[in-house]
């Protein structure tokens, strides 16, 4: 069974009403599985989300993250296991009777209704008194800074403004849990980054449990209290952003979260080094047995780069020599692409003020400390993340 540990030891047993009220917003998945024909979408997954937590489900397409969200929402039914929201099982409970609301990438606003009418729609369906509807709609629009646009139609709004309206419509019902299925995917980069900050501030202010589905590692790292990285319907690692970035549990996580350079080869030196065709990569701590094929990983920001002067010694434990074949200006960072051989390149990033003056075609030496090296068993599936430095032509 894939069980999310850490703070996730909550029992899946339904609670008395008084205790359930104290746990409003808690979500517990216990041994949940979902199949589509013979395809396993979610595989015996157990996870506890704490009340008021911002948790992201992160992973590539087909890893099961959206199916998991849809089962919490009630749009899909698990084939096995149970789901509890605020301490009560919701197995067989339809979506409209669950204390959750969902925001999708497609905002699904009614084009013939004004912004205020869109936000009020759910309350009106519940026959909420008109005076209360007006008050709660005003409060919801204030939350997302859209009150002055209340009379406009959705077609008169920008993408970011429509996203705010969709959030207000979801929040006006005051759910215990807000589910967000890649809600920022349609926005341009600058607006997406602005909305990331606004979402996190809004969640912190309201104290509502947010479950956020994304394939964008930057979104997950910038907003989440914890991140559940999914792979083939299971949770590969569940931890805070610092942990999944600095101490990934597997090569798959290391490849998916942030950029990594991998060196593959047999493990030697008492399990502390990998011998690849282009470098002997040493780590500080023994992780693997010497009979294994392993992968050594190092992040681009941990690598130094300079012109290769063979007569000058290199202080770091790890050294790789090659040809500089690309330079990219990333604002506060300079990125260098170094060809080590026909089948491997190395990505290096240095802060722009400290970046060395190099030119394409230079012979360079790259070096890094053993403390920055992570060792993993060789894992071909890690390349599903798509963040391994590609071979050069």
For helices 159-171 and 189-206, angle between their N-to-C axes, nearest 10 degrees: 20
What is the rounded distance in angstroms from the CA atom of residue 362 to the CA atom of residue 74?
58
For residue 45, what pLDDT is reported? 96
For residue 381, what pLDDT is reported? 55
Burial class (CB in 10 A: 0-12, 13-18, 19+), 146: buried
Q: Which residue has the tokens 């992040």?
A: 299
**Matching CATH topology for 2-246 and 261-385?**
no
Q: Which two tokens stand for residue 147?
A: 């009150």
Say whether 31 sits in a helix, a strand or coil. strand
Find all residues with CB under 8 Å of 146, minimum gap 6, and list them.
115, 161, 164, 165, 168
Q: Which CATH architecture has domain 261-385?
A: Beta Barrel (2.40)
Low-confidence ranges of the chain (pLDDT < 70): 1-22, 186, 289-291, 380-393
For residue 386, what pLDDT is reported? 34
For residue 21, what pLDDT is reported? 47
Helix (H), strand (E) at residue 100 = strand 100-104
pTM over 0.85: no
Check residue 319 and report its DSSP letter: E
Question: Please, what CATH class does the domain formed by 2-246 belong to?
Answer: alpha beta
For residue 191, what pLDDT is reported? 76
Question: Domain segments of the chain: what residues?
Answer: 2-246, 261-385
For residue 145, what pLDDT is reported? 84
Q: What is the DSSP string of 255-302?
A: HHSS-BEEEEEEEETTTTEEE-SS-EEE-SS--S-TTSEEEEEE-GGG
- The answer to whether 339 touches 323, Cβ cutoff 8 Å, is yes
Burial class (CB in 10 A: 0-12, 13-18, 19+), 130: exposed
């Amino acid at each position: 069974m894939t069980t999310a540990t850490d703070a996730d030891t909550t029992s899946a047993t339904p609670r008395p009403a008084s205790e359930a009220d104290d746990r409003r917003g808690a979500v517990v998945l216990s041994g949940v599985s979902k199949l589509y024909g013979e395809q396993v979408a979610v595989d015996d997954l157990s996870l506890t989300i704490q009340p008021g937590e911002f948790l992201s489900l992160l992973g590539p397409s087909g890893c099961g993250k959206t199916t998991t969200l849809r089962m919490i929402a009630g749009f899909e039914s698990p084939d096995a296991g149970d789901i509890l929201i605020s301490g009560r099982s919701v197995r067989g409970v339809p979506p409209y009777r669950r204390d959750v609301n969902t925001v999708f990438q497609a905002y699904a606003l009614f084009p013939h209704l004004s912004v205020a009418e869109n936000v009020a729609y759910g309350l009106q369906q519940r026959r909420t008194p008109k005076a209360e509807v007006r008050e709660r709609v005003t409060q919801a629009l204030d939350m997302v800074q859209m009150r002055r646009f209340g009379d406009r139609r959705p077609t008169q709004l920008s993408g970011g403004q429509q996203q705010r309206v969709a959030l207000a419509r979801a929040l006006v019902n005051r759910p215990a849990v807000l589910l967000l299925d890649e809600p920022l995917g349609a926005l341009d980069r600058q607006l997406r980054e602005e909305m990331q900050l606004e979402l996190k501030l809004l969640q912190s202010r309201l104290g509502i449990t947010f479950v956020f589905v994304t394939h964008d590692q930057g979104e997950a790292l910038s907003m989440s209290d914890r991140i559940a990285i999914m792979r083939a319907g299971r949770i590969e690692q569940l931890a805070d952003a610092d942990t999944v970035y600095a101490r990934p549990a597997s090569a798959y996580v290391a490849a998916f979260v942030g950029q990594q350079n991998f060196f593959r080869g047999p493990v030697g030196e008492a399990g502390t080094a990998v011998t690849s065709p282009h470098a002997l990569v040493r780590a500080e701590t023994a992780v693997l047995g010497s009979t294994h094929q392993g992968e050594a990983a190092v992040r681009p920001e941990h690598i130094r780069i300079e012109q290769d002067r063979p007569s000058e010694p290199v202080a770091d434990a790890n050294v790789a020599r090659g040809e500089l074949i690309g330079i990219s200006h990333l604002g506060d960072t300079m990125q260098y692409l170094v060809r080590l051989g026909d089948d491997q390149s190395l990505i290096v990033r240095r802060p722009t003020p400290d970046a060395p003056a190099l030119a394409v075609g230079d012979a360079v030496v790259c070096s890094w400390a053993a403390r920055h090296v992570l060792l993993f068993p060789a894992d071909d599936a890690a390349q599903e993340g798509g963040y391994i430095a590609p071979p050069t032509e």
